[in-house]
A and B are shown apart, each in its own frame.
Chain A
């Protein structure tokens, strides 16, 4: 099968716009009537559902950001009753509190449908064996891909992350044809395979990689294709949208965003003004059909551009280009979102260290490393090495608990880290994508 749902995916653009408008209108009326949060937000902005008279009027609606979720932790802006929820996923927030996303069974179905279309678009289907090496659990990657792959009739090998040698053995023994993971983890798998004397290109049936959850580049794509002999596809999603949702088709000319699921805008990150197709700006989504946690004009913080032309594959839905950066200082370490502000908050709870810190991100082999350099507090200084080691371990432990990634810690002399008067530049990113 080449197209999962041709009726929708190849719908003429004017019809698609009409459908989007209908869905938007329904959504806005529903939220205005049933959600105190959205009702107030719209009143503050002076917008009434009646003001939405065309699809373009969506821009009259107020934006949402990640902090709306944090401020309403865990579920105060959910618009489904608790017993209607069938799942939670949790991702990192910008500070101490994480972001919780709830799903009704309809929401899960929508998510799975979106992935079924996306996976079909990159040539997968019944007969494929898909190894899901995204993390299973609170992170959306594993479970999301899992159900998407099952929906298209593929066979899933739910390996999750880690135990790389075993992953490679299973890949050979079960005839895996596609793998879903972060691009850096796939490169790592390739390196480990080499040390095992296994060539992914010659000794496995692997032909497709569905890669995402972290920024990567065309150079990495070329490297993966030439070294591992597979076709690598870019996939996009965030937990606020549901999880991984949208993927490239075999044309590889951008990521198709299913218009009946999401209304896509690109806005100027400073002014919030809409930008034209082709212009680079912040990606903003309205999720048109979600029940538990509808997002209206959600500012993703990701920078990209939009292409509205019908794709050579015949799909009429708009496409976004590669993610080119962030409007904020969010880092993605091994697929996990890390905000410097989380590190700041965690350090504030440890009296033995100062409030100044520096983050060094690097890539050792294929995997990202995160090092936090922090000053020892003068009062905490002890002549005993063991006391200092305890401080170091406390910091590493606290950061690991907060961020969910392993963090190297370096204790430095007080006063030695740079001080900032304006916007702090605490991150040194040495990764070359």
Chain B
């Protein structure tokens, strides 16, 4: 159990109205606090959106943005390393699919060492266990504190 929770990462989610300048305001706040963004995405709905980000210091990011009046929450996600070549995404997606783990949303980035798939799933522990079982690799939460 200890082992598994090590891979559960705190993503920050920020509610934002869909109008010019909102992302800049969030990004500027993080820049001032010297918080680095590893990965991020914007989910868009009618008139508003949710900005989701993996940052190197989620606690401080949460505090800073909340002080600025933003509505922020933590969400548990996992980040899976993928081979940055054809079939990389298929491998990870198949493992989760076979295990009956549902993906609520996901976004990815391709870094220096590997491609990383950030996932919000309905059963995080099950997902972690199966990925490790299949020789997969996950980013540890220690990278994000």
Given known A-B contacts A384-B104, A416-B17, A411 and B71 have beta carbons under 8 A apart: no
Residue of A nearest to B68 (CB): A415
Whether B17 contacts A381 by the Cβ 8 Å rule is: no
Whether A414 contacts B69 by the Cβ 8 Å rule is: yes
Q: Is A56 an interface residue (CB 8 A)?
A: no
Partner of A389, one of B13, B45, B73: B45
Docked complex: B72-104 residues within 8 A CB-CB of A? 72-73, 75, 104
Given known A-B contacts A376-B15, A381-B15, A414 and B52 have beta carbons under 8 A apart: no
Given known A-B contacts A383-B52, A412-B17, A388 and B71 have beta carbons under 8 A apart: no
B75 to chain A, nearest CB (A): 4
Chain B residues near A412: list those with CB within 8 A.
17, 48
Query: A408-423: contact bitstring with B at CB < 8 Å (1 yes, 0 no)?
Result: 0011111110000000
Q: Is A382 an interface residue (CB 8 A)?
A: yes
Chain A residues near B11: list those with CB within 8 A.
383
Given known A-B contacts A381-B15, A383-B13, A383-B52, A388 and B69 have beta carbons under 8 A apart: no
Whether B73 contacts A413 by the Cβ 8 Å rule is: no
Given known A-B contacts A413-B16, A413-B17, A416-B17, A381 and B45 have beta carbons under 8 A apart: no
Given known A-B contacts A388-B45, A411-B47, A413-B17, A376 and B104 have beta carbons under 8 A apart: no
Q: Is A385 an interface residue (CB 8 A)?
A: yes
Chain B residues near A383: list those with CB within 8 A.
11, 13, 50, 52, 73, 75, 120
A415 and B71 alpha carbons, distance in the complex (Å): 10
A385 and B44 alpha carbons, distance in the complex (Å): 8
Given known A-B contacts A376-B15, A388-B50, A413 and B45 have beta carbons under 8 A apart: no
Whether B45 contacts A385 by the Cβ 8 Å rule is: yes
A183 and B94 alpha carbons, distance in the complex (Å): 61
Q: Is B40 an interface residue (CB 8 A)?
A: no
Q: Is B27 an interface residue (CB 8 A)?
A: no
A263 and B104 alpha carbons, distance in the complex (Å): 66
Docked complex: B94-145 residues within 8 A CB-CB of A? 104, 120
A222 to chain B, nearest CB (A): 37
Partner of A413, one of B13, B43, B71: B71
B128 to chain A, nearest CB (A): 19
A294 and B104 alpha carbons, distance in the complex (Å): 61
Whether B48 contacts A415 by the Cβ 8 Å rule is: no
Whether B50 contacts A413 by the Cβ 8 Å rule is: no
A385 and B105 alpha carbons, distance in the complex (Å): 10
Chain A residues near B13: list those with CB within 8 A.
381, 383
A378 and B62 alpha carbons, distance in the complex (Å): 13
Whether B48 contacts A388 by the Cβ 8 Å rule is: yes
Residue of A nearest to B49 (CB): A385
Whether B15 contacts A413 by the Cβ 8 Å rule is: yes
A413 and B21 alpha carbons, distance in the complex (Å): 14
Whether B45 contacts A414 by the Cβ 8 Å rule is: no
A128 and B137 alpha carbons, distance in the complex (Å): 83
Docked complex: B12-49 residues within 8 A CB-CB of A? 13, 15-17, 43, 45-48
Given known A-B contacts A376-B15, A416-B17, A382 and B73 have beta carbons under 8 A apart: yes
Whether B71 contacts A414 by the Cβ 8 Å rule is: yes
A385 and B49 alpha carbons, distance in the complex (Å): 8
Chain B residues near A389: list those with CB within 8 A.
45-46
A388 and B45 alpha carbons, distance in the complex (Å): 9
A30 to chain B, nearest CB (A): 56
Chain B residues near A382: list those with CB within 8 A.
73
B89 to chain A, nearest CB (A): 22
Whether B15 contacts A385 by the Cβ 8 Å rule is: no
Whether B43 contacts A385 by the Cβ 8 Å rule is: yes
Chain A residues near B75: list those with CB within 8 A.
383
A98 and B129 alpha carbons, distance in the complex (Å): 59
Chain B residues near A388: list those with CB within 8 A.
15, 45, 48, 50
Residue of A nearest to B18 (CB): A410
Docked complex: A394-433 residues within 8 A CB-CB of B? 410-416
Residue of A nearest to B12 (CB): A383
B113 to chain A, nearest CB (A): 27
Chain B residues near A415: list those with CB within 8 A.
69
Chain A residues near B70: list those with CB within 8 A.
413
Given known A-B contacts A376-B15, A412-B17, A416-B17, A381 and B71 have beta carbons under 8 A apart: yes
Chain B residues near A384: list those with CB within 8 A.
104
Using a CB–CB cutoff of 8 Å, the interface residues on chain B facing chain A are 11, 13, 15-17, 43, 45-48, 50, 52, 69-73, 75, 104, 120
Cross-chain pairs A/B with CB under 8 angstroms, 22 sampled: A376-B71, A381-B71, A381-B73, A383-B11, A383-B120, A384-B104, A385-B43, A388-B15, A388-B48, A388-B50, A389-B45, A392-B46, A410-B47, A411-B15, A411-B47, A412-B17, A412-B48, A413-B69, A414-B69, A415-B69, A416-B17, A416-B69
Using a CB–CB cutoff of 8 Å, the interface residues on chain A facing chain B are 376, 378, 381-385, 388-389, 392, 410-416
Q: A376-B15, A410-B47 are in contact. List 7 more A-B contacts (CB 8 A).
A: A383-B11, A383-B52, A383-B120, A385-B43, A412-B17, A412-B48, A414-B69
